[in-house]
Structure 1
């Protein structure tokens, strides 16, 4: 497999067919998905204390609560009603409906179970600056780049189920302050993520018809892996190495 830079596939990457595109996309996931980040190794291996897990859940809430905003922007990019209908359920998956619980409410269950105040979590006042910058950049990406790239950037969902399984088993095994009731977000995503990923993969394979368009698809996925990775970089720097920036969440003393 040809090399990549921090932002793009190699110019000589084989992208002459839909099958070669999928091969490159799966290679990107295998080498760049944030499941490989040291912070996740600590989180899933029971090596963090409760305050560090709180910091992760607090910051991740900003990402989770921004996903339906991102998806609404993606939806607005398409005149094709069928695509809008297909994409719309993603917003409901996270926002829920008037009579159904969504992913954001499930994430709040996690933060409440960890002892965080919900008003504080929802305010996003305690998150790391890098979290905000990275997540906002994702929303701006799907707004400013082509509709093809906007859909391609969601393809990290191809690799999410394995991470969710690892997270559920690891956190339940290692942390006595975690119970199954607060892990429902991840349990639900085991069903939702494959459905979403399959649609997005089929879309990019069908609509990226030149090597140049396939490279754009790959680079959109690389961008998204960077969005996820840099959030964990910031968490590691702040809460493992102890460099919490001014005004960000500070866990209670042990």
Structure 2
């Protein structure tokens, strides 16, 4: 099996689209409370994406590579105030009835989510550029997930304003580009069997990070006893 086949197999078999929470999201059975909990906690992950990309950027060798990777930070932070992926996620939160200040404060972020995100950021800080870039290859599976998520939100959660879904729509094309770019880098860098094993292990780790994040969100809902489907204002139905 080639390295590319191994990496794609990890993305196909271990990506968090298989997590029970995501499956329930796409089946339309999450309550508004559960969906808002996910949006709030996922934002903690989203706001650290440009941080981990800045750490990768600092370790890259050469202006061309750094210019290319810089685009990822700009995609999330925007080129100016009111633009970028983080702004679009804040608007998703507002469309779901979450105040912007609540998301920015981070006060409702679960401990398990904080731990998972910190683990990922430290991985990118301490490991080699090969491993940090390989960890980003969850992007290989992200575009298909975004397409599924858009359809699920439009069908099952019409109480969320359609404009709030723009983050997902943008990531369909951005994710495909980012995944292709990162894959080319990893395939070019990972020549030895040891490096190839490290790249595969890094992608395993990233999949575990995303899975652990959803575990924390899912467990919080179970602990609170919020397992019933509900209407837009949270009433059981």
Q: TM class, shorter-chain normalised?
A: over 0.9
Shift of residue 64, structure 1, vs aligned partner: 0.6
The question of 1:89 aligning with 2:100 is answered no
Distance across 1 between alignment mates of 2:112 and 2:152 = 26
Distance across 1 between alignment mates of 2:24 and 2:157 = 12
TM-score (norm 2): 0.93
How many residue pairs align between the two structures? 229
Q: Which position in structure 1 is the counterpart of 2:8?
A: 26
Distance across 2 between alignment mates of 1:173 and 1:23 = 34
Q: Which position in structure 1 is the counterpart of 2:150?
A: 168
Q: Which position in structure 2 is the counterpart of 1:10?
A: none
Alignment match of 1:147 (pick from 103, 113, 129): 129
Structure 1 ranges of 4+ moved more than 6 A: none
The question of 1:75 aligning with 2:39 is answered no
TM-score (norm 1): 0.87
The structure richer in helix per residue is 2
Distance across 1 between alignment mates of 2:143 and 2:82 = 23
Shift of residue 29, structure 1, vs aligned partner: 1.1
User: Which ranges in structure 2 are unaligned for 5 or more consecutive residues?
Assistant: 227-232
User: Which ranges in structure 1 are unaligned for 5 or more consecutive residues?
Assistant: 1-13, 15-19, 245-251
Distance across 2 between alignment mates of 1:172 and 1:181 = 11
Compute the RMSD of aligned alpha carbons. 1.5
1:47 counterpart SS class: coil
Q: Which position in structure 2 is the counterpart of 1:242?
A: 224
Query: Does structure 2 retain, via aligned residues, the 8 Å contact 1:134–1:231?
Result: yes
Distance across 1 between alignment mates of 2:158 and 2:222 = 20
Distance across 2 between alignment mates of 1:99 and 1:240 = 38
Deviations 1:116-168 (A, max 9, x none): 11111111110110111101111100110011101111000000011000000
Query: Does structure 2 retain, via aligned residues, the 8 Å contact 1:155–1:200?
Result: yes
